[in-house]
Structure 1
Amino acid sequence: MPVPSAEELTERKRIQINAETVGNAASTDFPGHWPGENHEWDLEYFKENFKVQFHTSSPLDLSFSLIGIDTSVANAFRRILLAEIPTLAIEDVYIYQNTSIIQDEVLAHRLGLIPLRGNHAALDWMKWYKKPTTDTEGSGSPSDYNTVTLMLHVRCEWQDGGLDRAAAGETDPDKLYTGHTVFASDMMWSPIGQQEALFGPDGGVEAQNPGIVIAKMRPGQEIKLMMHAFKGIGQDHAKFSPVATASYRLLPTIDISKPIVGPDAKKFARCFPKGVIALETVTEKDAGQNSELEGKQGELKAVVADPMRDTVSRECLRHPEFKDKVKLGRVRDHFIFRIESTGQYDSDHLFLESVKLLKVKCARIKRGLAQMTQ
């Protein structure tokens, strides 16, 4: 069977970015398979070509590249991150008193969207809560293994002598009132059953961002309520999603086919985000290697410094002087992931969880196929 050249393999992976269109974007019937060639699955070949490169890593923000996989696999990781990793979120709110200006339903909605954090092992131990129905009455009663209880009780009052200062023209609420701003840190965890032992060592269940403002009140107003938080997934509601966003993009490519020097080099650099194109001085060696650079020693030339920063705006293709000197593209099997965690899991932990869930899905399919062939 014919073996494609390195140039041919590179061209196959390159999506062409033209001024108005995109080329070489269509896939084959089976991704990565070409007629007349042997593309039999080989685990060792996959291990040799698959790579993971980390770019930035912090507890709430992670950027890395997956190189050598198909789009379907990369998109599976993204969808699992968004919708299938279980987290804890407030589902039911029991309001005993609310004399603030925020309506009960709006207040409950705001509480439900506050990200919570707690012990991961305890979260894995928790079961799924099933709301009772007419057919299963009583089976969905809250308990320590399916419900986390949080309390919120705040009241706004005048400070000592605050009314007198108000008459004198004071307007600063911090000097006039106490409890005038309700923060997420005011939510108190109320452990039940085994939760004290399971969640307790890590500080229990609390808001990931204590500074979130829930409501603002004035003297005499009060909020008193109880919240039930359940285990859920983003597929049911966005509040259960463990990520603020999980996305990927293909690695941009910039190929300068003809030298761009002098004032054109500076103009070319301005067509891209900062750091993508660098300006270097033309040397004697450069002039000897490229006849088009002869006599231009000492001038600036444009070189590609960091294509990963490019946003593929195609700005350079709008200028006729660059039309035949540059080619833009994207690498179809190089995925640059960006994961922003809401805080319940570290960002790198989230990706490992998505890998585990994909393995579970694959195992489920294998069992189903085995049963079908019996």
Structure 2
Amino acid sequence: MAPLIPSQAELDRRLIVDINPETVSNIPSTDFPGHWPGESHEWSLDKFINSFKVDFHRNEQFESSFSLVGLDASIANAFRRILMAEVPTLAIEFVFVNNNTSVIQDEVLAQRLGLIPLKGSVEGINWMRWFKRPTEDDPESGSSPSDYNTIVLRLEIECTKNPNAAPGEQDPRKLYKNAHVYAKDIVYDPVGRQMDYFTGDNAIQPVNPEILIAKLRPGQKISMEMHCIKGIGADHAKFSPVCTASYRLLPDINIQRPIIGDDAKKFAKCFPRGVIALEPVTAEEAAKKGSGYEGHDGEMKAVVRDAFNDTVSRECLRHEEFQGKVKLGRVRDHFIFNIESSGQFDSDFLFLESVKVLKLKCARWKRGLTDLMR
């Protein structure tokens, strides 16, 4: 039997994941050849180059949004997981407490310090090597702190009374000096070759200097030394370089039968602002037989203006007057990414780093496969 040749309409239908009132349908993956009769899904570099594209929607320093079109879900999800868990960053790992007379316990204070996002020279962070932690079986097996694997920070602060405070002052920030300890009070102590990379604005420092660490009162003091190392989010969330890294499929809204008049206004309210627009029915549409607009010249009709901003709430599917008139879906190979950096790296730089990590993974897998075939 000769293979079936699908029409373009059928190919377009296969690209849409159907969104029903309570279910999702048409979800089969095409991750193996021969899934659809008459259509080959064998991977081809030329086909991928011709179909893949990247569209940027917003590119700010710490937040970016862009679309990856023509990609398989497994690859898109790999980028998301790498962004959250495998792009290396700096964070405080070891805290040596010399003196802490605040009301916060040592271990709680150390935990708070470890969660402060740090930033510095990207070149310097790439220059740094990994710090190997000692194992339980061999406590002497770990790395020794050095300029190429450890960043040293210090926090030396003491609360005292402010002799210049106004009589009757109640605000502790005016009544005392150093009543509040902020991230900006942490001081970077460069050693060795770190002076070549982490200087000036590129010095290691908290992303947000106004992060509140502790509150002190006269006579209370904090004195500690902190060691920062490179790590990944898979080890601890404090090493994750992103606040959020997510994607969604492009919404698809297909108005199959005319929606006119008051129904059109109600239909537009079922979607976020700007997704559905109201336009007048033209004389040509009203004169065309079978269009559904006969006798409605000049009335307002509902049209899709911008499906990109739709949240696919399915609200329109809950109203009887819209039954059979609209079909909701999502484009299965159009992924809209949103990346929000924690501040150590720019958001677009983070995605490029995730691509590098995936390339290294592929190269490592390829070497392993070559060794296996020998």
Q: Is the counterpart of residue 219 in structure 1 residue 221 in structure 2?
A: no
Residue in structure 2 matching 1:108, options 85, 107, 110: 110
Letter in 2 for 1:142: P
Shift in CA distance, 244/161, structure 1 to aligned 2, threshold 3 Å: same
User: Hey, what does 2:161 align to over in structure 1?
Assistant: 158
Query: 1:2 offset after TM fit, Å?
Result: 4.2
Within 2, Cα distance between the matches of 1:65 and 1:310?
15
Query: 1:32 offset after TM fit, Å?
Result: 8.2
Within 2, Cα distance between the matches of 1:286 and 1:222?
79
Query: 1:304 offset after TM fit, Å?
Result: 0.8
Shift in CA distance, 277/36, structure 1 to aligned 2, threshold 3 Å: closer
Within 1, Cα distance between the matches of 2:34 and 2:181?
56
8 Å Cα contact 2:173-2:180 kept in structure 1: no
Letter in 2 for 1:114: I
Cα deviations across residues 49-69 of structure 1 (Å, max 9, x unaligned)?
111111011010010011111
Which piece of structure 1 moves more, 58-67 or 198-207?
A: 198-207
8 Å Cα contact 2:54-2:69 kept in structure 1: yes
SS at match of 1:321: helix
Question: What TM-score, normalized by structure 1, do the two folds share?
Answer: 0.94
User: Hey, what does 2:78 align to over in structure 1?
Assistant: 76
Q: Is the counterpart of residue 59 in structure 1 residue 61 in structure 2?
A: yes
User: Hey, what does 2:227 align to over in structure 1?
Assistant: 228
8 Å Cα contact 1:156-1:217 kept in structure 2: yes
Within 2, Cα distance between the matches of 1:29 and 1:291?
40
Q: Is the counterpart of residue 174 in structure 1 residue 176 in structure 2?
A: no
Within 2, Cα distance between the matches of 1:36 and 1:324?
30
SS at match of 1:122: helix
SS at match of 2:21: coil
Query: 1:139 offset after TM fit, Å?
Result: 4.6
User: Hey, what does 1:267 align to over in structure 2?
Assistant: 266
Question: What TM-score, normalized by structure 2, do the two folds share?
Answer: 0.94
8 Å Cα contact 2:86-2:233 kept in structure 1: yes
Cα deviations across residues 225-248 of structure 1 (Å, max 9, x unaligned)?
111000000000000001001111
Query: 1:161 offset after TM fit, Å?
Result: 4.5
Query: 1:112 offset after TM fit, Å?
Result: 0.3
SS at match of 1:292: coil
User: Hey, what does 2:296 align to over in structure 1?
Assistant: 296
Within 1, Cα distance between the matches of 2:323 and 2:134?
66
Within 2, Cα distance between the matches of 1:288 and 1:105?
78
Within 2, Cα distance between the matches of 1:201 and 1:2?
66
SS at match of 2:344: coil
8 Å Cα contact 1:132-1:141 kept in structure 2: no
Within 2, Cα distance between the matches of 1:135 and 1:17?
55
Within 2, Cα distance between the matches of 1:85 and 1:41?
28
Which runs of no fewer than 5 residues in structure 1 stay unpaired? Answer: none
Query: 1:221 offset after TM fit, Å?
Result: 1.7
Which piece of structure 1 moves more, 216-225 or 65-74?
A: 216-225
User: Hey, what does 1:11 align to over in structure 2?
Assistant: 13
Within 2, Cα distance between the matches of 1:31 and 1:260?
41
Letter in 1 for 2:97: I
Cα deviations across residues 138-174 of structure 1 (Å, max 9, x unaligned)?
6522110110000011222211143x72xx3x21223
Residue in structure 2 matching 1:143, options 138, 142, 146: 146
8 Å Cα contact 1:86-1:233 kept in structure 2: yes
Which piece of structure 1 moves more, 298-307 or 349-358?
A: 298-307
8 Å Cα contact 2:5-2:38 kept in structure 1: no
8 Å Cα contact 1:257-1:327 kept in structure 2: yes
Which piece of structure 1 moves more, 17-26 or 282-291?
A: 282-291
Cα deviations across residues 79-127 of structure 1 (Å, max 9, x unaligned)?
1101000000000111112122211111111110011001111111111
Letter in 2 for 1:83: A
Q: Is the counterpart of residue 85 in structure 1 residue 87 in structure 2?
A: yes
Letter in 1 for 2:76: A
Shift in CA distance, 3/49, structure 1 to aligned 2, threshold 3 Å: farther
Query: 1:37 offset after TM fit, Å?
Result: 3.3
8 Å Cα contact 1:70-1:333 kept in structure 2: yes
SS at match of 1:287: helix
8 Å Cα contact 2:31-2:41 kept in structure 1: no
8 Å Cα contact 1:31-1:70 kept in structure 2: no
SS at match of 2:55: strand
Cα deviations across residues 209-264 of structure 1 (Å, max 9, x unaligned)?
11111112222221111110000000000000010011111111111111111111
User: Hey, what does 1:24 align to over in structure 2?
Assistant: 26
Which runs of no fewer than 5 residues in structure 2 stay unpaired? Answer: none
Q: Is the counterpart of residue 96 in structure 1 residue 95 in structure 2?
A: no
Within 1, Cα distance between the matches of 2:13 and 2:291?
26
**Please, what is the CA RMSD of the aligned residues?**
1.7
User: Hey, what does 1:247 align to over in structure 2?
Assistant: 246
Shift in CA distance, 214/226, structure 1 to aligned 2, threshold 3 Å: same
Shift in CA distance, 27/38, structure 1 to aligned 2, threshold 3 Å: closer
Count of residues in correspondence between the two structures: 370
8 Å Cα contact 2:80-2:245 kept in structure 1: yes
SS at match of 2:312: coil
Cα deviations across residues 340-369 of structure 1 (Å, max 9, x unaligned)?
001111110111111111111111111111
Within 2, Cα distance between the matches of 1:153 and 1:368?
50
Cα deviations across residues 151-210 of structure 1 (Å, max 9, x unaligned)?
011222211143x72xx3x21223312111111111100001111112115431000111
SS at match of 2:199: helix
8 Å Cα contact 1:89-1:239 kept in structure 2: yes
Within 2, Cα distance between the matches of 1:245 and 1:114?
16
